[in-house]
């Protein structure tokens, strides 16, 4: 019976997809950051959601343009109002509204805005056993749900295998060095989120735990550090994962030319064909230094889509001088499709995967 329902839903999505304009299919593939603590009907973000059928947004508290003002988050009541306004702008009421909420240093919903804000980092949660962990993550999921956030860009499933790594190890963002332990604790996190209707993202494929550099700042080569064991959490969680986030790390053994996010060998070859993952692949922020310093916007979009990425993240957070509009993103991808650089098949494939993902939302 369940199989019949799923097949029926997929068939319905394909029928809807057939008559949808190209620009609106492309819109579903984008997750963008924007400035504003509200999304009234006349706001730019609301217009973008309506006109381009935008698939996802990401919320931040820190405002890179004016540190004295919030970017999207100022209080619990305000975030709850903002997410309602955002959903009202969307066609299906299932806009993906995302935050990075891991615990420790990475939590956007802070105490000073009226949220709990004291969720421990993964390394500390792992010390307390699954019972305490379940309580912690249920509390986190409940808080996300209470303000209308339906997509948490977590958990981190990177292995804690390099003590010199300051991005994962230094911030205590990993559950441990053993793949089975990481899989077990990541499952507890995901179960808690799912109980409250919040989607998750395993990150950072194919593994950021062995690196020493920071892809926010520039090129990070893990060729001589990366170990195949870093793929294990993804193998173990491939059927449970809602989405997998791909990192911008470069590994000559996997692809001698491109970093993971832009690599067909890594995304379509390794993650999909070899490991058998079938769900949505989301990029890490494509404005991070590892990508923006080396590739133009046009190259980035063409390579990311052709690599097999479905959801393209542009946080508009890292550099106020490099804000990119939804219109520019949609029109650039549409041009790439029209000239044959990106096959229409890839857009349809990504669109279908994203609709299937959104069908999990309550």
Q: How many CA atoms lie within 13 A of 16 on its CB side?
A: 14
Q: Is 208 a catalytic residue?
A: no
Q: Which of 92, 191, 214, 216 is catalytic?
A: 216
Residue 250 burial (CB count, 10 A) = 27
Q: Which of 48, 255, 284, 310 is catalytic?
A: 284
Q: How many CA atoms lie within 13 A of 152 on its CB side?
A: 31
* 195 phi, psi to nearest 5 deg: -60, -30
Q: What is the 3-state secondary structure (H, E, C) of the chain?
A: CHHHHHHHHHHHHHHHHHCCCHHHHHHHCEEEECCCCCCCCCCHHHHHHHHHCCCEEECCCCCCCCCCCCCCCCCHHHHHHHHHHHHHHCCCCCCEEEECEEECCEECCCHHHCCCCCCCCHHHHHHHHHHHHHHHHHHHHHHHHHCCCCEECCCECCCCCCCCCCCCCCCCCCCCCCHHHHHHHHHHHHHHHHHCCCEEEEEEECCCCCCCCCCCCCCCECCCCCCHHHHHHHHHHCCCCCEEEECCCECCCCCCCCCHHHCHHHHHHHHHHHCCCCCEEEECCCCCHHHHCCCCHHHHHHHHHHHCCCEEEECCCCCHHHCCCHHHHHHHHHHHHHCCCCCHHHHHHHHHHHHHHHCCCC
Closest CA to 317 of 94, 133, 70, 115: 70
Residues in the chain: 362
Q: Is 35 a catalytic residue?
A: no
Kindly list the catalytic residues.
216, 284
């Amino acid at each position: 019976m369940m199989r019949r329902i799923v097949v029926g839903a997929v068939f319905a999505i394909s029928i809807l997809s057939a008559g949808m304009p190209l620009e609106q299919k492309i819109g579903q593939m984008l997750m963008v950051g924007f400035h504003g603590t509200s999304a009234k009907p006349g706001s730019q973000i609301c217009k973008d959601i309506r006109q381009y059928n935008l698939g996802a947004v990401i919320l931040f508290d820190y405002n890179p343009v004016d540190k004295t003002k919030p970017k999207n988050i100022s209080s619990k009541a305000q975030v709850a109002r903002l997410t309602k306004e955002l959903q009202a702008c969307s066609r299906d009421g299932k806009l993906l509204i995302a935050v990075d909420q891991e615990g420790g240093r990475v939590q956007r919903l802070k105490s000073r805005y009226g949220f709990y804000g004291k969720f421990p980092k993964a390394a500390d949660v792992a010390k307390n056993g699954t019972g305490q962990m379940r309580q912690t993550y249920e509390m986190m999921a409940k808080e996300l749900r209470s303000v209308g956030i339906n997509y948490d860009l977590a958990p981190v499933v990177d292995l804690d295998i390099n003590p010199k790594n300051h991005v994962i190890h230094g911030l205590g963002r990993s559950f441990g060095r053993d793949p089975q332990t990481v899989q077990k604790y990541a499952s507890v996190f995901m179960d808690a989120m799912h109980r409250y209707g919040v989607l998750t993202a395993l990150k950072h494929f194919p593994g950021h735990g062995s690196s020493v550099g920071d892809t926010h700042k520039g090129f990070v080569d893990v060729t001589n550090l990366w170990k195949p064991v870093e793929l294990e959490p993804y193998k173990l969680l491939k059927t449970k994962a809602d989405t997998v986030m791909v990192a911008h790390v470069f590994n000559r053994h996997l692809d001698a030319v491109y970093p993971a996010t832009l690599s067909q060998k890594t995304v379509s070859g390794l993650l999909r064909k070899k490991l058998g993952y079938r769900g949505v692949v989301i990029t890490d922020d494509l404005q991070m230094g590892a990508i923006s310093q080396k590739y133009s916007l046009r190259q980035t979009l063409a390579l990311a889509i052709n690599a097999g990425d479905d959801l393209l993240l542009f946080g508009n957070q890292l550099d106020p001088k490099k804000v990119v509009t939804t219109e520019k993103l949609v029109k650039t991808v549409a041009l790439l499709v029209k000239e044959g650089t990106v096959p229409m098949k890839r857009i349809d494939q990504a669109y279908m995967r994203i609709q299937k993902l959104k069908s999990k939302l309550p």
